[in-house]
Chain A
């Protein structure tokens, strides 16, 4: 039994492999982009709008509101990254309703890639907010002794992000596969329904944790700047 869609390889040349994970990811990317393009090509700024526009607006403004709630004051700056994280993971997990589909999020490579992107995004936003030195200093908080722990925390949370998502989705897929071999009716359907819920929750958790990490980085640097301003006064 294949645990990861990485193992389903379509084409390989040296280390370059085109596996099911990549193909499914491209499919989902295409789906998201085409859907977005179809809806947004006829956008209206009037009071009366189409249902699809209303649906997309609800999603986008909902994500914006969530980002703002976590503590990022200008959500437009972060929605590109956080929103895409949520939509990609959600779409990947939602498509389990299609028979024979294997979500790319069930591959540790994908979840690692997403976790690495979060790992990179946190310093990116932190540095863009308060500069390299300002961001670096946040690792010395509250004292320099905490530096190794802060670094370990940074890496471990990234690892946790990757493993949490992979574990949840992979386990869901595995349970369905096992149940299919034991009882081919009813139970797999129920488990799939449960998988939909788990997938949605995981998409939310992943993106909200990413937001929290970014917010923490941005806030640390902001507070540092504020305290500097107070001391100079």
Chain B
């Protein structure tokens, strides 16, 4: 249990050397590393904080930009919507107008077509009726009918009113020799003489009538001089019929077709 003082001193020196060595090889490097790491971590944290702050700032800027953009977008959208509605209305109006014009044109064209068709039908009907009539009349225009026609003409002349008579006299008196009598058939001499006599009586002068045959008059007789004409024929009736048919066709452009039952009946 003795204390060896040499060992004590040696141990004291050993201990001091160990303190120095451990300071040199252990505490200093370790503490430096720890401090450096702490500093690094602090720097990183600071950097992260800075970045976070910058990011926050940037976020706010972007948020503001986004808001502005949204506002601008909304404004533009509103304008576009209004303009589109306006454009739509304009287009609809234009389309309506075009449609109206087109309908009007079509109606006009249809009407023209209808008129044309009516006219054609009327003309065809007229022609047909005339042909039938002409044929019928031509076949039935026997001598007795021609005589009757001449008689009817003579009767007309005699039965004409006073003012008509006066007109007739005024027109034929100046040219008593150039009076022409046209007929659809050759007038028999008897009728020629009767007509000549009636005209001479009317004019109270002796007249020399010229007789001419013209089949287009259709059982008709026409007495004419320069600037005046007195006539009677079936053509007059046919013309009146034609006018009558045309008038009826115009009144009823689309006549309803008869029902089958009606037709069968």
Q: Which residues of A contact B41 (CB under 8 A)?
A: 47
Q: Are B11 and A60 in contact (CB under 8 A)?
A: no
A25-47 vs B, Cβ < 8 Å mask (1 yes, 0 no): 11001001100110010011111
**Which of B5, B19, B34, B40 has a CB less than 8 Å from the CB of A60?**
B34
Closest to A22 in B: B10
Closest 8 CB pairs of A and B: A113-B11, A109-B7, A45-B36, A36-B26, A40-B29, A36-B25, A80-B23, A113-B12
- Max chain B Cβ within 10 angstroms of own Cβ: one of A32, A45, A107: A45
Which residues, 29 to 82 on A, are CB-close (under 8 Å) to B? 29, 32-33, 36-37, 40, 43-47, 49, 53, 56-57, 60-61, 64, 76, 79-81
Interface residues of A (CB under 8 A from B): 3-4, 6, 15-17, 19, 21-22, 25-26, 29, 32-33, 36-37, 40, 43-47, 49, 53, 56-57, 60-61, 64, 76, 79-81, 83-85, 87-88, 104, 107-110, 112-114, 116-117
Number of interchain pairs (Cβ within 8 Å)? 126
Closest to B18 in A: A29
Q: Which residues of B contact A16 (CB under 8 A)?
A: 6
CA–CA, A61 and B32, complex, Å: 11
Q: Are B11 and A25 in contact (CB under 8 A)?
A: yes
CA–CA, A85 and B15, complex, Å: 8
Q: Are A60 and B8 in contact (CB under 8 A)?
A: no
Interface residues of B (CB under 8 A from A): 1-12, 14-23, 25-27, 29-34, 36-37, 40-41
CA–CA, A47 and B4, complex, Å: 49
**Which of B12, B15, B25, B33 has a CB less than 8 Å from the CB of A44?**
B33
